Structure 1
Amino acid sequence: MNDERPFRLGFLSHVASVGEPRAALRETLRLFVIAEELGLDSAWVVQHHVGAERGHLPSPFVFMAAVAERTSRIRLGAVVVTLPLEHPVRVAEDAAVADLLSGGRLEVGIGTSGHERSFTALGTDFETRRERNRASADELTDALANRPLPGGERLTPRVPGLVDRLWRATSSESGVAETARAGHGLLLARSAFTGPTRDIQPPLAESYLSTYRRAGHTRTPRIGVTRSVYPAASREQAVADLEAGARDWTKTMAADRIAPGLPAAELFARHHIIYGHISDVVAALWADRVLKHATDLLVQVQPGLPGFAKTVAALETIATEVAPALGWHPA
């Protein structure tokens, strides 16, 4: 991270809460406006069906239309659109409308999701999701590239350039290779339950870059890295703000992989949460080897749920103290 501006800084929200969904949606809209005011480059929401991860947003493109009316500069990311649960041409249509309303600011991330109950609820087979995701990604790319749809028609409305703003979220070597060959951006999530992200993700990023170069793409490769980042007055204060949310998320989403009774420090390590005093957070990010490959750093407070005011405070600290210490500055 030695360039003049080493990465673009984004904020990612799961639109999650244990309270009333309307409040979570309205507060997330406000967070997008605040992120733009702080000079962040992008803000992203995560699609969740049937309340997975306490999320309240199954329709990210509807949300982006609302955000587009409240912002003017910040890039708007929808991730991870669970493509095996969607019709790829319908995704292209909804994304096209949201992109036009935002003035060409949309970024679209696609993936498979590991939430089996979402597939059950939507009447879709869970075991074949990767094969369907692969085929649907090709169809989505074709539609956004203005290639003929089945029957010969083409996507309406047309959105030149959106096909170059597709991302794929994956943590497998085969998925990384597919992403690179397709020329899409690579999204590497904060969680990797098979081991520390600092060990797992650098080889994936390096493999993506080498495959991308061999594929002959002329555009600059894109690697987005999501991290749970929570600066506070102290590690103890950060634990007090995040522990209840992290334990609740563990109980509902990862009880088969993470023992619920772990001490807070070990629990946070398993969730790859970077937390504590500003100096601790900066040091941890400097030591994160995959960030040297990242074009985009997307920060979140998930799986903690510190509340709106504390989330805003953390975002302000990241934008004004943490990220500048890493070489970032507003565009």
Structure 2
Amino acid sequence: MSGGFSLGFLSRVYSPSADPKVYRDTLELFKVAEALGFDSGWVAQHHFASEHGRLPAPLVLLAAVAQRTRHISLGTGIIVLPQEPPLRLAEDAAVLDLLSNGRLELGLGAGFDPETFLAFGREHDARHRDYEQHLHQLLNALGNAPLTDSGSRLLPRANGLSHRLWEATSRVELVAERGHGLIMAPNPHQPADAGTDLVNRYRNAWTGDNGTPARVARVQALFPAPDDATRNDIRAYVQRQQRIGVFKGAINDDFDTTLKRLGVLHGPVQQMVEQLQQGPALTAHDQLILQVQTVSTPLRDAIRALEIIREHIAPALGWQPTGTPS
């Protein structure tokens, strides 16, 4: 991994129960991350508390974050686009981008959970088709195209937001053709170096026709000292992924092997630094986004993990903060 990248964190807004405290804790985590000098913070969308993720409406929470922060970029990693009305998503995103002074990074994906597609009345097997249709409508709205015969257009305007779109997909040539950023994470069904190959394919397909640079957001889970609760959370996560048909194969009896397959980094700081250095090279336009929470992680432990990343891990990888931490 080369230096000069941006540093971010990912919160899946996990909580073992439907306690609104999880939203207040997430707001606090963003404030702490900004004070530490993190460049971006990202939240994931989960409907019906799948995986114990408690955030079905990422843009609503990020609007609250926008009013409590000033500099940190606000990312969605990801919004399940086939389940969203594209024009309504464009309107909400445009308002949030104005509120945050252009800090929104809009990450999109096709989703994977069959149970949530059923609840939305969508076909899970048609999610990639629906994704392409919804993305086309979203881009038309964000690009100020007329939406009716009479010339209705998106209001408020989303100036610049179409250049801050990210896609999480293995169809990287399409992402490059559209000029969007690529969100990539470890795939338990691919070899460890698959991520590097994916990024290389994306960069090789890049044309730059829309005037934006190629950009990669590398997402990685990182737990400096996973305790028993963290390990139990990860086991439960894998068991659910097995049940819904996403995780193929048995859970290895050696739990460290399971963590390695999932791409979850843990252990001494130097060991995690070396593991991160083995991944795809990142440039000044790219982001390293680290997840530091499972369902049972208390806020204080998440904050301590961000401090370790800020003080020891990110600088060892070549990251430099743009401002002075407060």
TM-score (structure 1 length as normaliser):
0.91
Unaligned runs of 5+ in 2: none
Structure 2 Cα separation of the partners of residues 329 and 105 of structure 1: 20
Instruction: Give 1:206 deviation, angstroms.
Output: 1.2
SS of 1:128's equivalent in the other structure is: helix
Amino acid at match of 1:28: T
Which residue matches 2:298?
A: 307
Within 5 Å, which residues of 2 pair with 1:1-331? 1-3=1-3, 5=4, 7-151=5-149, 152-171=151-170, 175-190=171-186, 192-196=187-191, 198-213=192-207, 216-232=209-225, 238-240=226-228, 242-255=230-243, 256=245, 257-260=248-251, 262-291=253-282, 295-303=286-294, 305-331=296-322
Which structure has more RCO (C-alpha within 8 Å, separation ≥ 6)? 2
Q: Percent identity?
A: 38
> Hey, which of these two has a bigger chunk of helix by percent?
1
SS of 2:199's equivalent in the other structure is: helix
Amino acid at match of 1:216: D
Amino acid at match of 2:153: R
Amino acid at match of 1:249: Y
Query: 2:36·2:310 contact (CA, 8 Å) conserved in 1?
Result: yes
Instruction: Give 1:263 deviation, angstroms.
Output: 2.5
Structure 2 Cα separation of the partners of residues 117 and 283 of structure 1: 38
In structure 2, do the counterparts of structure 1 residues 294 and 161 end up closer, same or farther at CA, with 3 Å as the change threshold? Answer: closer
SS of 1:16's equivalent in the other structure is: coil
Segment drifting more, 279-288 vs 238-247: 238-247
Structure 2 Cα separation of the partners of residues 176 and 43 of structure 1: 23
Segment drifting more, 43-52 vs 264-273: 264-273
Q: Map Cα deviations across residues 213-272 of structure 1 (whole Å, 9 max, x no partner).
A: 2x634321111110001223xxxxx25352011012112223552534633212211221
Amino acid at match of 1:282: V
Structure 1 Cα separation of the partners of residues 277 and 283 of structure 2: 9
Query: 1:245·1:303 contact (CA, 8 Å) conserved in 2?
Result: yes
Aligned length: 318
Q: Map Cα deviations across residues 182-237 of structure 1 (whole Å, 9 max, x no partner).
A: 111110023x12123x3211121111112112x634321111110001223xxxxx
Structure 1 Cα separation of the partners of residues 267 and 153 of structure 2: 51
Instruction: Give 1:178 deviation, angstroms.
Output: 1.2
Amino acid at match of 1:243: R
Structure 2 Cα separation of the partners of residues 330 and 179 of structure 1: 28
Query: 2:292·2:306 contact (CA, 8 Å) conserved in 1?
Result: no
Q: Structure 1: which 4+ aligned runs deviate by more than 6 Å? A: none
Instruction: Give 1:161 deviation, angstroms.
Output: 0.5
Structure 2 Cα separation of the partners of residues 252 and 178 of structure 1: 30
Instruction: Give 1:181 deviation, angstroms.
Output: 0.6
In structure 2, do the counterparts of structure 1 residues 115 and 290 end up closer, same or farther at CA, with 3 Å as the change threshold? Answer: farther
Instruction: Give 1:20 deviation, angstroms.
Output: 3.3
Structure 1 Cα separation of the partners of residues 277 and 312 of structure 2: 14
TM-score (structure 2 length as normaliser):
0.92
Which residue matches 1:235?
A: none
Structure 1 Cα separation of the partners of residues 236 and 166 of structure 2: 29
Instruction: Give 1:66 deviation, angstroms.
Output: 0.5
In structure 2, do the counterparts of structure 1 residues 188 and 114 end up closer, same or farther at CA, with 3 Å as the change threshold? Answer: same
Instruction: Give 1:303 deviation, angstroms.
Output: 4.8
Query: 1:231·1:318 contact (CA, 8 Å) conserved in 2?
Result: no
In structure 2, do the counterparts of structure 1 residues 38 and 209 end up closer, same or farther at CA, with 3 Å as the change threshold? Answer: same
Q: Map Cα deviations across residues 268-313 of structure 1 (whole Å, 9 max, x no partner).
A: 1122111111111111111223546971000002556432211111
Query: 1:246·1:305 contact (CA, 8 Å) conserved in 2?
Result: no
In structure 2, do the counterparts of structure 1 residues 284 and 194 end up closer, same or farther at CA, with 3 Å as the change threshold? Answer: same
Structure 1 Cα separation of the partners of residues 285 and 184 of structure 2: 10
In structure 2, do the counterparts of structure 1 residues 291 and 21 end up closer, same or farther at CA, with 3 Å as the change threshold? Answer: farther
